[in-house]
């Protein structure tokens, strides 16, 4: 890899040991992927900023870096953490986890990281521009960033994103390069998509076929909303390992199939058509229980926008959730504050739902659900259904809030 003078100086330790170590990691990563240079990045987003994912080793690593005086040099935000630091005791979390989270967050804060603690940083003011190189982790955010915003990142792990944040560089490979951003398979949507959940189900179905290839999707209305694009993209990294998708006539790199594919012909074997039958079967495959058997409802995966909170409030208006059922709506602090000022929060809490900010259930200790007696999860997110089933030992129902609201109210 050819480094600039400044990059070589960083590697040689002129800016201190932490910068040198970070550059060493990026050079090794670049060598692995045969990158011939670095790109300057505009921002970074860190995954796993919590004690459950980072573990003692990761937490100590962040602590050592902070002690050495490491500083991020580009705006850097964080993914959700293990608990809501304001209502952790009320939600049943222990003091030990709380203290571990606070200490890890403090290490990151000392390095200049902005603790926005959300998987939708683009809803909290962190919005890279079209074509900008960045180093982001979090598969759902990476999909939104590459596909909807047209900025450029590979799916970064915690160490590579932090190293990029410290040096302001990332190796030029993968989705940073024009030639790797063209669509490789074609998906013709023939189904009627009525709400965010239908878009999520479509994404879940496409991910299975796509695996690690970039889909070009047709048959989507140009009036698709940003929330629906978020819903469509997120499951592509659950059933597949997709980091970029194109929607013809909608996303910025896909004004036509020809442009989205780089004028390459897509073989018939790389083309599928999706109708209502496939979506119905996919939705059913994600449910192992009837919604009235669930005692924890999780909405807002990825973290809900203000319009999604408003939709939830509309569906729950005038209703009262059964006392045996806990309802969490995951969102960001900024969105929650906005909801508080506009009466949306009151409508949700009035029905008995909780809007919890900063957290992801998948960053909670694996035995937390069992200890709290949560045995059945009801959710409108296929990503949440997939991961809590796999890691928390619970059974799930998956569907839109409208489909199960009758089962959770008095
Ligand atoms: Fe976000 Fe957690 Fe879902 S990180 S996308 S709420 S699994």
Query: In the beta sheet, which residues pair with residue 299?
Result: 329
- Select from 200, 335, 362, 392 the residue to mutate for testing ligand 1; criterion: most ligand atoms less than 8 Å from CB: 362
80 Cα–ligand 1 center, Å: 8
Task: Give the confidence band of 107 by pLDDT, cuts at 50, 70, 90.
Answer: very high
Euclidean distance between CA atoms 297 and 328, whole angstroms: 6
pLDDT greater than 90 at residue 254:
yes
DSSP state of 264: P
Report the nearest-CA residue for atom 6 of ligand 1. 301
Residue nearest to atom 1 of ligand 1 (CA): 302
Q: Ligand 1 mean position to 291 CA, how many Å?
A: 21
Q: Which helix (H) or strand (E) holds 31?
A: helix 17-32
Token pair listed for 297 = 């409802």
Per-residue pLDDT at 402: 97
The pLDDT value given to residue 209? 98
Atom of ligand 1 nearest to the CA of 302: 5
Report which of 22, 42, 38 is spatially closest to residue 30, judged by C-alpha positions: 38
Q: What is the mean pLDDT of residues 292-311?
A: 98
For residue 387 and ligand 1, the question of a CB distance below 6 A is answered with yes
Q: Give the model confidence (pLDDT) of 392-403 as tens digits.
A: 989 999 999 999
Among protein residues, the one with the nearest Cα to ligand 1's atom 2 is 360
Confidence of residue 294 (pLDDT cuts 50, 70, 90): very high
Number of CB atoms found within 10 A of residue 373's CB: 11
What per-residue confidence (pLDDT) applies to 97?
Answer: 96
Terminal-to-terminal C-alpha distance of the chain: 64
Asked whether the predicted pLDDT for residue 242 surpasses 90, the reply is: yes
Residue range 292-309: mean pLDDT, rounded: 98
CA of 307 to the centre of ligand 1 (A): 18
Pocket test for ligand 1, best of 46, 302, 329, 380 (most atoms within 8 A of CB): 302
Q: How far is the CA of 79 from the centre of ligand 1 (A)?
A: 9
Q: Are 5 and 31 in contact (CB under 8 A)?
A: no
The pLDDT of residue 199 is above 90: yes
121-132: per-residue pLDDT in tens?
999 999 999 999
Cβ-based neighbours of 244, under 8 Å, separated by 6 or more:
143, 146, 147, 175, 181, 214
Alpha carbon distance 310, 376 (integer Å): 25
Residue 360: CB within 6 Å of ligand 1?
A: yes
Give the residue whose CA is nearest to atom 7 of ligand 1. 384
pLDDT at 96 over 90: yes
pLDDT surpassing 90 at residue 86:
no
As a whole number, mean pLDDT of residues 225-248 equals 98
Residue with CA at minimum distance from ligand 1 atom 3: 301
Residues linked to residue 327 through DSSP beta bridges, in sequence order: 297
Q: How many angstroms separate the alpha carbon of residue 189 from the centre of ligand 1?
A: 26
| Position 349 pLDDT exceeds 90 | yes
Q: Give the CA distances from residue 83 to residues 62, 149, 297, 299, 356, in Å, rounded to whole numbers and listed in that order.
A: 19, 29, 17, 16, 9
As a whole-number percent, the residues of the chain with pLDDT over 90 amount to 98
Who contacts 278 (Cβ-Cβ below 8 Å, separation ≥6)? 191, 205
**Ligand 1 atom showing the smallest separation from residue 361 Cα:** 2
Q: Which runs of E-coded beta strand occur in 104-244? A: 135-136, 169-171, 185-189, 215-218
Query: pLDDT class for 388, splitting at 50, 70, 90?
Result: very high
Q: Tell me how far apart the alpha carbons of residues 388 and 398 are, in angstroms, rounded to a whole number.
A: 12
Decide whether any atom of ligand 1 lies within 6 Å of the 45 Cβ: no
- Confirm or reject: Cβ of 161 under 6 Å from ligand 1: no
Inter-residue long-range contacts of 177-181, CB under 8 Å, 24+ positions, other chains counted: 179/262, 181/146, 181/152, 181/214, 181/244, 181/253
Which pLDDT tens digit goes with each residue over 24-34? 999 999 999 99
Whether the pLDDT of residue 338 is over 90: the answer is yes
CA distance 119 to 124: 10
289, pLDDT greater than 90? yes
Cβ–Cβ < 8 Å for 221, 366: no
Percent of the chain surpassing pLDDT 70? 100
Query: What mean pLDDT value characterizes the chain?
Result: 97
State the pTM of this model.
0.97
Q: Could you tell me the distance, in angstroms and rounded to a whole number, from the CA of residue 362 to the centre of ligand 1?
A: 7
Q: How confident is the model at residue 298 (pLDDT cuts 50, 70, 90)?
A: very high
Q: Is residue 119 lining ligand 1, measured as CB closer than 6 Å?
A: yes
pLDDT bucket at 217, cuts 50 / 70 / 90 = very high
């Amino acid at each position: 890899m050819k480094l600039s003078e400044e990059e070589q100086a960083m590697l040689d330790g002129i800016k201190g040991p932490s910068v040198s170590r970070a550059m060493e990691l990026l050079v090794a990563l670049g060598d692995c992927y045969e990158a011939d240079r670095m790109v300057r990045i505009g921002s970074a987003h860190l995954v796993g900023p919590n004690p459950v994912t980072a573990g003692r080793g990761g937490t100590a690593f962040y602590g050592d870096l902070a002690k050495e005086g490491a500083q991020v040099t580009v705006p850097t935000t964080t993914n959700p953490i293990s608990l809501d630091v304001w209502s952790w005791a009320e939600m049943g979390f222990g003091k030990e986890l709380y203290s571990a989270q606070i200490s890890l967050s403090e290490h990151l804060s000392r390095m200049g990281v902005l603790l926005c603690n959300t998987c939708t940083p683009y809803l909290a003011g962190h919005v890279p521009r079209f074509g900008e190189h960045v180093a982001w982790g979090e598969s759902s955010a990476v999909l939104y960033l590459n596909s909807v915003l047209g900025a450029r990142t590979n799916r970064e792990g915690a160490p590579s994103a932090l190293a990029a944040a410290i040096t302001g560089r990332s190796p030029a490979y993968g989705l940073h390069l024009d030639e790797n951003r063209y669509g490789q398979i074609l998906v013709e949507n023939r189904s009627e998509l009525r709400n965010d959940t239908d878009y999520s189900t479509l994404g879940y179905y496409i991910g299975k076929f796509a695996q690690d290839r970039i889909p070009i999707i047709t048959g989507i209305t140009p009036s698709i909303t940003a929330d629906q694009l978020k819903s469509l993209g997120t499951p592509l990294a659950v059933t597949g390992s997709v980091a970029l998708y194109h929607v013809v006539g909608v996303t910025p790199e896909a004004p036509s199939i020809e442009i989205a594919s780089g004028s390459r012909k897509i073989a018939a074997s790389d083309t599928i058509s999706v109708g209502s039958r496939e979506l119905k079967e996919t939705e059913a495959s994600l449910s192992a229980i009837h919604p009235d058997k669930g005692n924890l409802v999780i909405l807002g995966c990825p973290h809900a926008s203000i319009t999604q909170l408003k939709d939830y409030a509309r569906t729950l208006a005038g209703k009262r959730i059964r006392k045996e059922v806990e309802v969490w709506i995951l969102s960001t602090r900024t969105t929650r504050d906005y909801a508080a000022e506009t009466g949306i929060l009151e409508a949700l809490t009035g029905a008995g739902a909780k809007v919890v900010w900063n957290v992801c259930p998948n960053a909670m200790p694996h035995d937390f659900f069992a200890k709290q007696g949560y045995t059945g999860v009801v959710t409108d997110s296929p990503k949440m259904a997939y991961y809590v089933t796999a890691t928390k030992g619970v059974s799930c129902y998956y569907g839109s809030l409208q489909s199960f609201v009758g089962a959770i109210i008095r």
